[in-house]
Amino acid sequence: MSSISEILNKLNIVYYTYDKKQNAVTLNNRYANIQALDELIKLTYYFTNKKIKFTVLKNKTIVFKENLTFFSTVKNFFKDAFIDMKNNHKNIYVLNNKKIKYAKNLPLFEIKFIDMPNLKIKQYDALIFTSQNAILALDQATKEWKDIPSYVISEQSGKLVKDLKGKLKFFSRSRHGNEFAEEITPLLENKKILYIRAEQVASDIKNILKKNNIKCDEVVMYKNVPLPNTQTKNLPKNSKIIFSSPSTVKYFFKHYEWKDTYKAIVIGKTTAQSLPSDMEFLISETTSLDSCVKKALETP
């Protein structure tokens, strides 16, 4: 039998992810729309057809084990409640206002969308996104993008494309920056591409595509702006700081001095290159803040 992760890839599942420790397929709680329900139906049909034993919990988690007894259900409830309480007390910081489970917000900048009233989107065969902010910025500028196939760097961006009723063609589950560009290169042959990006980017996607004889236009649709009058807080010992872009590195060190007890979690290899050369760090499994928080929770 294929691994559960391979099955999710095969079925093009974006709202559910496989948790190896729990041996369960879990739904991202921030996404509970009709398309997430469609994926639940697709998964349960597939597992039933393949005679894979599972149980669906009330929170829509699919657990791979025999039918749960009342005792085991109650036991799991209190176990999950204890884990939530424990994790909520951990000092994990994201440097923006996005609400991520188990993380605290330490906003140092804000996102400003750039108005593009004359953007001619219909001339393109494919759109490339490497962040959710790029998707939101384009959606604010025009709704015509929804008819054009989207190629995105992560599951989280893929979920947003589907939530906005865009045409998700491809998403990468595990790639980072330049590796994502190499991954989509064979899929974009003979297509006219538009890369929607931030004012400052960490990867070199356009040039990588160009080296592979793929013409790619790009448009800057948002930028990071430092928050005025940022108040520096006293961060506790053993805090875990999540750096999601080179800009977050710059803004953090503008206001804070790094302490030996802190741990750095970075969203990708290029962001890691922006850190001081003597600073230790861990890289998340995928390019999403959820993955960064998961890595922080796993780190002693």
pTM score of the predicted model: 0.79
Range of the domain at 286: 90-108+227-298
Distance of CA 41 to the CA centre of its chain: 23
Residues 177 and 245 in one domain: no
% helix, strand, coil for the chain, step of 5: 35, 20, 45
Selection from 99, 32, 89, 103 nearest residue 61 by Cα: 32
Location of structure tokens 């030996």:
260
Structural domain tally of the chain? 3
**Strands 92-94 and 240-243: what pairing?**
parallel
Residues 182 and 46 in one domain: no
- Predicted confidence (pLDDT) per residue in 130-139, tens digit: 999 999 999 9
Residue after which a domain boundary falls, among 225, 254, 281: 225
**Contact 134/219 with Cβ under 8 angstroms?**
no
What is the residue-level pLDDT of the chain in tens, covering all 300 positions?
468 888 988 888 888 888 887 788 988 766 657 778 889 999 999 999 999 888 888 888 898 875 556 666 667 667 777 888 889 899 999 999 888 989 999 999 999 999 988 899 999 999 999 999 999 999 999 999 999 999 999 888 998 999 999 999 999 876 677 889 999 999 999 999 999 999 988 778 999 999 999 999 999 999 989 888 777 888 999 999 999 988 899 999 999 999 999 999 999 888 899 999 999 999 998 888 888 999 999 998
Measured distance between the N- and C-terminal CA atoms of the chain, rounded to whole angstroms? 34
Residues 187 and 210 in one domain: yes
pLDDT, position 120? 93
Backbone angles phi, psi at 222, to 5 degrees: -160, 160
Residues 78 and 216 in one domain: no
Selection from 207, 168, 170 nearest residue 188 by Cα: 170
Residues 117 and 11 in one domain: no
Residues 294 and 251 in one domain: yes
pLDDT, position 218? 95
Selection from 300, 291, 299, 277 nearest residue 94 by Cα: 291
CATH number (domain holding residue 235):
3.40.50.10090
